[in-house]
């Protein structure tokens, strides 16, 4: 009897879990709080079930987007008006924008296709993984497919290694990690483009960047979440761990929200110090303990292995949106970071990258520590990598856009986004080389000497 009831319950739960979440008639507003009181009101609208915030953390002046169901719309407007909070409708029908994003870009936006893969639309996990497998078949001497681990739902976390010169003496290693956050679809579209460029570009500088470094590129390190954004919930961010399932009634969101850990809060550096939540019903739930999630452990183990195999020179964690190159560390200020790590050099490298990026289409990226340009946070992968290895350059890059479409960036922007990012990567590499990091680690002599000469120069000039 008990077993029967259990089976029925299981079927119901399974059914509930797999029914697709739709957003027909849901509006998206951008709300801008001018002070902490107004910010509190906005946070409370989510607690009261009036709307769902796109970000758990936001600045007083920057504002945040909030999705509001049709039956809650009047209540939302009343709350905003009563409290004199600035708001603007930015999407009239969220489902329409989600559906549009699945369409291909217009023919004029298509320019490239490589091994039956293209960048005029977004791809499913299967398509991406099949393509990675094809690369190994087509470039057997250069490309190796790598599985770094498995997800909560036992999916492979698949990437590739690109190595043009397996017999070199010292191996410089670069790693690109994509899609820790499921809904950031522009990320795998960028990571796959970088792979294509490294394999097919005829530009001498691009070829040099591909060949000087052994690249490890993982377009989707959160495969369960990514699949879930296609099958069930387009706005899903976390992994799909069910271990912390609980009622989310007091948070004002669906209970399913507790089925997931924010992988970019789960790493074992300053874990849960700031900008992370111990509430499973939030988007920034850091997990029950550091590295509790198999996806985060897979990344961590893989990085440690790479760090033993050669000299890690680049770590790039790709995210969207807000157009930023974020420099470590995320839980402290720039001044505090500068005392601990080569912050000044990383900042310069990032600024040069952002300047070069802007030249092509005028797209502006901001540079700095997370606390200055976004919000303080902790337990992130790129901070952890910076802390645990001697990697000179570790960035978190937030891709397009500034929030017009946010996670729902139209497919027509994939290629422009990718072109400007490649410009930035090349400039980042030029600057890194100029600062001497190809030849030594973080505490390198050339950089210290430059700094000393520069200080002397400044002193003379000031006097
Ligand atoms: Zn992200």
Residues 377 and 307 occupy one common structural domain:
yes
Rounded to the nearest angstrom, the distance between the alpha carbon of 179 and the centre of ligand 1 is 7
Residues 120 and 218 occupy one common structural domain:
yes
Residues 95 and 118 occupy one common structural domain:
no
Rounded to the nearest angstrom, the distance between the alpha carbon of 437 and the centre of ligand 1 is 28
Q: What is the DSSP string of 385-444?
A: HHHHS--SEEEEEEES-SSSSGGG--GGGHHHHHHHHHHHHHHHHHHHHHTTTTTS-TT-
The answer to whether residue 249 is domain-embedded is: no
Rounded to the nearest angstrom, the distance between the alpha carbon of 145 and the centre of ligand 1 is 25
pLDDT in tens, 178-217: 999 999 999 999 999 999 999 999 999 999 999 999 999 9
- The pLDDT score that the predictor gives to residue 447 is 47
> How far apart, in Å, do the first and last CA atoms of the chain sit?
89
> Distances in Å between the alpha carbon of 160 and those of 107, 219, 256, 278, 444?
30, 9, 33, 34, 30
Buried b (16+ CB within 10 A) or exposed e, 119-155: bbbbbebeebbebbebbeeebeebbbbbebbebbeeb
| Cα(460)–Cα(463) distance, integer angstroms | 5
Q: What is the mean pLDDT of the chain?
A: 90
Residues 45 and 78 occupy one common structural domain:
yes
Residue of 422, 421, 322, 409 lying closest to 372 (CA atoms) = 322
Rounded to the nearest angstrom, the distance between the alpha carbon of 186 and the centre of ligand 1 is 11
pLDDT tier, 445 (very low <50, low <70, confident <90, very high otherwise)? very low
Q: In what order do the strands lie in the sheet with 27-32?
A: 52-53, 64-68, 27-32, 86-91
Rounded to the nearest angstrom, the distance between the alpha carbon of 203 and the centre of ligand 1 is 31
The CATH number of the domain holding residue 314 is 3.40.630.10
- The pLDDT score that the predictor gives to residue 204 is 97
Integer Rg of the chain from CA: 23
- The pLDDT score that the predictor gives to residue 446 is 47
| Cα(192)–Cα(303) distance, integer angstroms | 20
Residues 66 and 120 occupy one common structural domain:
no
The answer to whether residue 400 is domain-embedded is: yes
The answer to whether residue 456 is domain-embedded is: no
List, by residue number, the catalytic residues.
Answer: 398
The answer to whether residue 285 is domain-embedded is: yes
Rounded to the nearest angstrom, the distance between the alpha carbon of 322 and the centre of ligand 1 is 10
* Distance from chain centroid for Cα 206: 23
Mean pLDDT value of segment 145-164: 98
Looking at the structure of the chain, the number of domains it has is 2
pLDDT in tens, 294-328: 999 999 999 999 999 999 999 999 999 999 999 99
- The pLDDT score that the predictor gives to residue 261 is 98
Residues 435 and 287 occupy one common structural domain:
yes
- The pLDDT score that the predictor gives to residue 62 is 78
Rounded to the nearest angstrom, the distance between the alpha carbon of 30 and the centre of ligand 1 is 19
pLDDT greater at residue 15 or residue 274: 274
Q: Is the pLDDT of residue 458 over 60?
A: no
- The pLDDT score that the predictor gives to residue 325 is 98
Residues 92 and 191 occupy one common structural domain:
no
Mean pLDDT value of segment 349-355: 98
> Distances in Å between the alpha carbon of 385 and those of 302, 306, 307, 393?
11, 11, 10, 10
Final residue before a domain boundary, out of 78, 101, 124: 101
Residues 216 and 362 occupy one common structural domain:
yes
The answer to whether residue 5 is domain-embedded is: no
The answer to whether residue 287 is domain-embedded is: yes
The CATH number of the domain holding residue 29 is 3.30.70.340
Residues 174 and 72 occupy one common structural domain:
no
Residues 94 and 113 occupy one common structural domain:
no
The whole domain housing 130 covers 108-227+276-447
| Cα(423)–Cα(244) distance, integer angstroms | 42
Rounded to the nearest angstrom, the distance between the alpha carbon of 3 and the centre of ligand 1 is 41
Residues 59 and 205 occupy one common structural domain:
no
The answer to whether residue 331 is domain-embedded is: yes
pLDDT in tens, 331-343: 999 999 999 999 9
The count of residues in the chain is 463
Residues 156 and 76 occupy one common structural domain:
no
pLDDT in tens, 240-249: 999 999 999 8
The answer to whether residue 268 is domain-embedded is: no
pLDDT in tens, 40-54: 999 899 888 899 988
The answer to whether 95 and 24 have CB atoms below 8 angstroms apart is yes
């Amino acid at each position: 009897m008990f077993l029967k009831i259990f089976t029925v319950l299981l079927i119901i739960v399974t059914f509930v879990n797999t029914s697709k979440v739709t957003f027909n008639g849901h509006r998206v507003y951008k709300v801008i709080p001018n002070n902490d009181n107004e910010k509190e009101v906005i946070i409370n609208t989510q607690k009261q079930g009036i709307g769902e915030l796109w970000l758990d953390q936001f600045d007083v002046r920057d504002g945040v987007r909030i999705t509001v169901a049709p039956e809650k719309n009047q209540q939302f407007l009343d709350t905003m008006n009563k409290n004199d909070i600035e708001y603007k409708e930015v999407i009239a029908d969220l489902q329409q924008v989600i559906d549009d994003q699945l369409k291909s870009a217009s023919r004029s936006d298509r320019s490239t296709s490589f091994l039956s893969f293209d960048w005029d639309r977004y791809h499913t996990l299967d398509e991406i993984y099949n393509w990675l497998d094809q690369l190994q078949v087509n470039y057997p001497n250069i490309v190796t497919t790598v599985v770094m681990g498995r997800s909560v739902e036992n999916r492979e976390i698949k990437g590739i290694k690109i190595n043009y010169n397996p017999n070199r003496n010292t191996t410089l290693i670069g790693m690109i990690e994509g899609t820790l956050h499921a809904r950031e679809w522009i990320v795998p579209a960028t990571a796959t483009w970088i792979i294509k460029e490294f394999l097919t570009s005829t530009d001498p500088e691009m070829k040099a960047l591909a060949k000087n470094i052994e690249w490890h590129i993982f377009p989707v390190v959160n495969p369960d979440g990514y699949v879930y954004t296609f099958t069930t919930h387009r706005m899903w961010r976390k992994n799909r761990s069910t271990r912390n399932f609980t009622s989310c009634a007091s948070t004002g969101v669906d209970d399913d929200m507790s089925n997931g850990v924010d992988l970019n809060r789960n790493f074992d550096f300053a874990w849960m110090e700031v900008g992370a939540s111990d509430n499973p019903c939030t988007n920034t739930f850091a997990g029950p303990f550091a590295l509790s999630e198999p996806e985060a452990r897979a990344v961590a183990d893989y990085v440690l292995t790479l760090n033993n195999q050669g000299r890690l020179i680049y770590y790039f964690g790709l995210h969207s949106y807000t157009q930023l190159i974020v420099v470590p560390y995320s839980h402290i200020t720039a001044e505090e970071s500068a005392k601990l790590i080569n912050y000044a050099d990383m900042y310069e490298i990032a600024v040069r990258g952002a300047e070069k990026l802007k030249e092509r289409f005028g797209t502006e990226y901001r540079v700095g520590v997370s606390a200055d340009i976004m919000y303080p946070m902790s337990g992130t992968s790129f901070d952890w990598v910076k802390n645990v290895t001697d990697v000179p350059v570790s960035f978190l890059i937030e891709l397009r856009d500034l929030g017009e479409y946010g996670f729902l960036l139209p497919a027509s922007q994939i290629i422009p986004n990718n072109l400007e990012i490649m410009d930035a990567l090349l400039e980042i590499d030029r600057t890194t080389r100029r600062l001497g990091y190809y030849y030594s680690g973080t505490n390198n002599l050339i950089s210290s000497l430059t700094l000393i000469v520069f200080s002397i120069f400044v002193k003379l000039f000031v006097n």
